[in-house]
Amino acid sequence: MRRHAPIGLPALCLAMLVAASVCAAGEAQGLYEDPLGRYRFSFEGEWRVGAAADAAAAPHHFYLIKQGVVAAEVVVESRPFPAPSRLNDYVKAEVEAVEAGSDMFKVSFATGLMVSGQPAVRLIARRVAAGEGEHRRETLAAQYWFTKEGRLWSLLVLTTPAEQQRSKVVFWIEETVISSFEALEPDEVSQAIVNSRKVARVGNGLAEITLPERWTLVKIEEDGVTSEFGTGRLYLFVVRNHEYGDTLKAVAHGFIEKHASLEAPAIGLEGDCDVGGEPGYFVILDGVRDQRAFRGQLIALTRDGHAFFLYGLCEVEAWPQARAWMTAVQYTFRFVEEEEAPSSSDAGDEDPD
């Protein structure tokens, strides 16, 4: 499929090339919930989760699932999908691109499936890498598409076991991961973001986020924005010419050490993520503030030597309701192109309060 389409098969076949750089984040069996609240699914066998270490265009997550000696990758991705668009038209173009390709061959195409309670389609294709004889590596790819609440979702399964086992692996994953997959982005949250014109910028216009109209902008400064909603606060900071370290993980941990505003913050979950097409690093942490238990969700990004932080904070009891709102706002983050932004001047960083 088209390489410029981030949810198409050829673009996501990048997963096969970068699998060796996937960072393990855990092993378990049962129910997996995306730490940023976007989706959840059930699985069987051993697994690990991570994201590509390079390329901003890399998929959100890889899930490496094993049952005995058989292994497969599951890649999850979503993006806004314009309301007038038709899923069938989009998929038809993707299928045609596969059929016209030199290394991808359509195996089967099916409609009438259901994923996350929505009508879905499935394309199974065989990819043959360059080479001859034993060096011609073949991969079976099964991709599922569906739309929900204005978003296009793609679930991609990649496997390279012995030929007679390929289809078994695909349908084993379909019976577990795909059939149990739930997209969790609430319609109320999505609509509040889509319909809002409340945009806040930092760094004299280096980056911006969109807030729901009913959120309160508590403070707007050159190096930070503080917003408040019913159950918590969300901050956007920029630290110019940061010295937190060379990796996004080091940058995130550096912020927590200096600015988390929590007593003895304890990190729960953390890992790579993708925000607005940019590589980021998320951390979910717990701590005490004013003798009350709080939970925070931090996303760190960098560009041109500057560090950007999206930090949501609320009391632990409010976390289930607040997380979806914080995540939705954090995922509106975007860097503003230079011609859009006014000239900027240096400014120090400040603790959230």
Predicted confidence at residue 294, as pLDDT, reads 93
pTM over 0.75: no
Report the amino acid identity of residue 305.
G
Name the band, by pLDDT with cuts 50, 70 and 90, for residue 89: confident
Domains of the chain: 9-183 (3.40.1000.10), 187-340 (3.40.1000.10)
Name the band, by pLDDT with cuts 50, 70 and 90, for residue 150: confident
Residue closest to 5 by CA, chosen among 152, 184, 178? 152
Predicted confidence at residue 305, as pLDDT, reads 92
Residues in the chain: 353
Residue closest to 330 by CA, chosen among 296, 288, 293, 285? 296
Report the C-alpha gap between 5 and 40 in whole angstroms. Answer: 24
Lowest-pLDDT range of 40-44, 250-254, 311-315:
40-44
Lowest-pLDDT range of 31-35, 263-267, 344-348:
344-348
Check pLDDT > 60 for residue 53: no
Predicted confidence at residue 339, as pLDDT, reads 47
Check pLDDT > 60 for residue 145: yes
What are 209-252's pLDDT values in tens digits?
Answer: 999 999 999 998 889 999 999 889 999 999 999 999 999 999 99
What 265-270 contacts at long range (C-beta under 8 Å, 24+ apart), as own/partner pairs, is 265/296, 269/25, 269/35, 270/25, 270/35
What are 167-218's pLDDT values in tens digits?
Answer: 677 888 888 889 999 998 666 777 788 788 899 998 778 999 999 999 999 9
What percent of the chain is predicted at pLDDT more than 70?
Answer: 72
List beta partners, residue 297: 284, 312
Q: Reduced to 3 states, what is the DSSP secondary structure of residue 170?
A: helix
- The CA-atom distances, in angstroms, between 56 and each of 52, 239, 301 are 9, 21, 11
Neighbours of 343 (CB within 10 A): 7
Predicted confidence at residue 135, as pLDDT, reads 57
Exposure of 104 in the CB half-sphere (CA atoms within 13 A):
26
Between 257 and 348, the more confident residue is 257
Predicted confidence at residue 213, as pLDDT, reads 92
Predicted confidence at residue 352, as pLDDT, reads 55
Check pLDDT > 50 for residue 343: no
Highest-scoring range by mean pLDDT, 63-72, 98-107, 124-133, 289-298? 289-298
Residue 276 tokens read as 């607005």
Check pLDDT > 50 for residue 17: no
Between 35 and 16, the more confident residue is 35
- The CA-atom distances, in angstroms, between 7 and each of 58, 145, 153, 325, 352 are 10, 9, 8, 25, 37
Neighbours of 108 (CB within 10 A): 10
Check pLDDT > 50 for residue 31: yes
Residue 292 tokens read as 């009350």
